[in-house]
Amino acid sequence: MATESLEAVTLIGQSRDRMLPLAAGIATLAPRRVILNPGAEDSKVVEALLAKGVPVQLACTMVLLDEGRFDDLAVS
């Protein structure tokens, strides 16, 4: 049975108190990247994800899709 990888997890404006505890759970999913949309950018969340080896992209998911750049992997 082949396993499929998760392309992206995209987070939309939440407080650090809500997002930071999610970082460990997101890391267990082993996504190719996490996209932090405007309003969701937080240095502590970025640090937590990077520390777990999860690439982070600060971008708007809808803009990436609209401009055909979703598959571009410009991550931290």
Q: How far does CA 56 lie from the centroid of its chain? A: 5
Q: Which residue range is the domain that position 16 belongs to?
A: 8-66
Looking at residue 3, what is its pLDDT?
A: 56
Number of domains in the chain: 1
Kindly give the confidence (pLDDT) of every residue in the chain, 76 residues in length, as a single tens digit, with 9 standing for 90 and above.
Answer: 445 778 899 999 877 788 888 888 999 999 999 999 998 888 999 999 999 999 999 999 999 999 998 887 765 5
- DSSP 8-state code for residue 9: E
Q: Is residue 47 part of a domain?
A: yes
Q: How much is the pTM?
A: 0.84
Q: What is the CATH number of the domain that holds 58?
A: 3.40.50.720
Q: Side chain identity at 24, as an amino acid letter?
A: A
Q: Is residue 39 part of a domain?
A: yes
Q: Is residue 71 part of a domain?
A: no
